[in-house]
Structure 1
């Protein structure tokens, strides 16, 4: 391995950048739909050796000295995000005549931008670089800070955070009940990069021992938590039906098809329960499943009342409209409606975190004058965001914490209302992205929110993946991608043994501080030995 490490360290110019790109591309295998976390045990050591060989010219200014490291980090990130997010371009092909021109921006431009965070990670690490265990700590610290920033800067986009690679299955998800994603990102990079020490000798035993202990504790805690009794159903039990209609996105956008789309949902709602089981108490439709403004269509509410049995409740995604005042344009919200068996809307929740360029247009005054519009919002001005996230209270008193579409990828935005809810409710429409890794990655990240909050999750998606996940992230029932149908089950209960958000934040900064000090002391010792 020392020979391989030496050859990688000696790379320069385009060769070094290309190998960094390939290492990032390889890391994608650690994310869904592959889940081969071992891939990161190969790519991260390669990244360490590439940084070893990118010290920069000491005669130049600070930025020029960091340039080789920045280029390595950016190339690694570009490979990672290009390989992990190429499927975003599929959304632009739904209405290709309007949006196909933007394919390069989505498929190449966004990965190129996100790669700047990994360039920052490697630059931070390079500033603390040494010749032993300290450089592994430096890399972990750099990625921990960069991924933390990626979670909220420019509205945030923590999709495929590096820590998810260490959590491909429920057994390896349980640490998320104690640590936040930012901490797991940092520790994951330390564990994945530690094998690089084998080739360079110094600090290998200590570094590998720490990595083995961390990885072993991660697995052992998972075994322990899954060995505990499964969460018991709520009392009285609540039976849920997930409706997965598999409606083509182009059809949903066709005004002539709106009525038939609505009837497809109604037909699935009334499908008989398999094996004579208990009829569902709650029926859940996906995001924007009602293909028109429901409050402008009383006949639709009457149809819903016709198909619901006494006591049943429909939870459905819809566009909600609100009058802003005389002379002002109406506001539109991406919402969830709760509709009772009399066809009355008895609850609603609006989306808080909208998708930029998808549901609204940033800098709208300027960009709209250039003829641009939001991809997934056909109404003028796009959607408006809700000011806060409110619990949904269902008839009978059960409460849901609503997460619409990609709101489920933001763990730091789940507020103090979540512990008050009986379950998480995630509705989405991943049909925009076709049968690609996107819907699998989205489901995986949503799954982690159940573990973090100790709450079961009800998830309904237009084309999939629809599922009910228990409070440990274990799949109870699900419908695979492009499987049209319904599934019914009793909703599992909640767990109370999770760390609160404030404590998770303190743990992150404490561990980040320890790792930073290890890197600093190693750097100081390295400089003393060198001089």
Structure 2
């Protein structure tokens, strides 16, 4: 391979910058796949109760964009760049999304081997976007020399472009974002408060390309040619020092550095430090999916949440400041209008025990006596037992809450996904611009909640809308569908990116894990384990200041 890499532009009649054999391309693809799968949370991850043995290795994901860049350098045509990158990406995404087979098998009733094509199909779709990066980058390479420093900026913007495109097309599924892998290394994700998770992923791709260009320079002994080596080595040093240096300063500085970069006047400033604390209790009742929608278990489900809440409240130290207790997505299996007796009993329970309760439940539209149009909602009850309103989930999960493109008309598809549609059928979305009203806590302190139900937390644009009128982000979810897999960890990491982007604390309450409290720097302060019945007691800050990313994304209306 060394001799091959020495022969840049070996074939002037082709578009290839370097010439690789088929075996070398296969080896490169394997390295990219392994780097992606091991860099992302996977089934071998040792944290959060999965039972694995591997520590977090986020740096390995850099091998994935590096591999795709090599395919662009070595491709003789756009089709070859697309083919090699797409095949590699299919395997990388499918292996990382293996957990999609769980609900199809457990709730859909399909044999495990039948679920494999579906996982591969999702992987094949998501692979189109990094493959597009390789094609566009290969086109660019024909116009620049292989050592051109401009290529790193082009790679950055092209990767950013494909990440944004993936988040928008067909309702969007931006799940395996490169930035997500670095959540365990908090210093590496601070830049998202400036540029967002998608652009940080582009920067990571640009760094990967600079490493490859540096490798070519060393292999070809071009490091002695300062006109070639100096710009590349300098850019690599600048990118790395900016990435890690900003992270270090941001974590060290109590006052967010992103305010220094913002050209906009802050509409709200820091509230009094003595009054911006709120005690939260996250109740993880660990209700089985098989029992969740079975009417004979309704009282058992309700009582389990009450009992765990009372146990947590017994540790509450300040009765003058009622805590916020949170129950997970669709915790209460009744409609607040139809299940009047259950609901009245719940309000009385909250009032008698002096706490605020945010709980997930389903609801049906007024006058919908056939209960054909459920909404996935979060409701809030004040500490005096008054129902203060609800939020309806705006961005629904395809195949989990509705079946898109009318394919449910195919009998086999309909039967499979009926078991997954949360026991109540096809949901309808709420208004994307809805919000909770402010809740007066004490003195001049307000609680403004930005709700993100389930996988709404993976979308930066939704989090930006919620943070515009919120000083605390709340994510309620139910990831029990996916068993003891990497899915809950991946979901938690994506949610943590939203906390950094918006400069808000984020509390995440789930039915079976992983429940967690994430601070405004993306640090996971405390968390539960998977499939454990437990509660989390924590104190959070209510933050009103906005990050640069929040301001610029609103102004430009970018995601």
1:123-202, aligned counterparts within 5 Å? 123-129=135-141, 130-133=145-148, 134-201=150-217
Contact 1:31 1:168 (C-alpha < 8 Å) held by counterparts? no
TM-score by length of 2: 0.81
Superimposed CA distance per residue, residues 73-117 of structure 1 (whole angstroms, 9 cap, x where no aligned partner): 102211221122111111222224268686134321100111111
1:43-442, aligned counterparts within 5 Å? 43-55=64-76, 65-97=77-109, 103-129=115-141, 130-133=145-148, 134-201=150-217, 203-229=228-254, 235=275, 237-273=277-313, 277-278=317-318, 281-308=323-350, 309-323=352-366, 330-341=372-383, 343-364=385-406, 367=409, 372=414, 373=417, 376-378=420-422, 382-393=426-437, 395-396=439-440, 397-442=446-491
Unaligned 5+ runs, structure 2:
8-16, 46-54, 223-227, 256-269, 441-445
TM-score by length of 1: 0.85
- CA distance in structure 2 between the partners assigned to 1:480 and 1:77 by the alignment: 31
How far off is 1:332 after superposition?
Answer: 0.7
Contact 1:190 1:211 (C-alpha < 8 Å) held by counterparts? no
Superimposed CA distance per residue, residues 222-255 of structure 1 (whole angstroms, 9 cap, x where no aligned partner): 1212212379867164211110112222222433
**What is the aligned length?**
499
Contact 2:502 2:550 (C-alpha < 8 Å) held by counterparts? no
**Residue in structure 2 matched with residue 39 of structure 1 by the alignment:** 60
Deviates more, 1:18-27 or 1:95-104: 95-104
**Residue in structure 1 matched with residue 259 of structure 2 by the alignment:** none
Contact 2:407 2:413 (C-alpha < 8 Å) held by counterparts? no
Unaligned 5+ runs, structure 1:
56-64, 510-531
Deviates more, 1:305-314 or 1:70-79: 305-314
Q: Does 1:475 align with 2:524?
A: yes
- CA distance in structure 2 between the partners assigned to 1:192 and 1:506 by the alignment: 30
- CA distance in structure 2 between the partners assigned to 1:244 and 1:458 by the alignment: 13
- CA distance in structure 2 between the partners assigned to 1:262 and 1:485 by the alignment: 15
How far off is 1:346 after superposition?
Answer: 1.7
Superimposed CA distance per residue, residues 293-347 of structure 1 (whole angstroms, 9 cap, x where no aligned partner): 2332222223323432454121001111113668x86421111011235554321
How far off is 1:44 after superposition?
Answer: 3.8
- CA distance in structure 1 between the partners assigned to 2:274 and 2:176 by the alignment: 33
SS in 1 for 2:377: strand
**Structure 1 residues 506 and 428: CA distance shift in structure 2, 3 A:** same
Superposed CA RMSD:
3.1
How far off is 1:443 after superposition?
Answer: 0.5
SS in 1 for 2:250: helix
SS in 1 for 2:543: coil
Deviates more, 1:122-131 or 1:287-296: 287-296
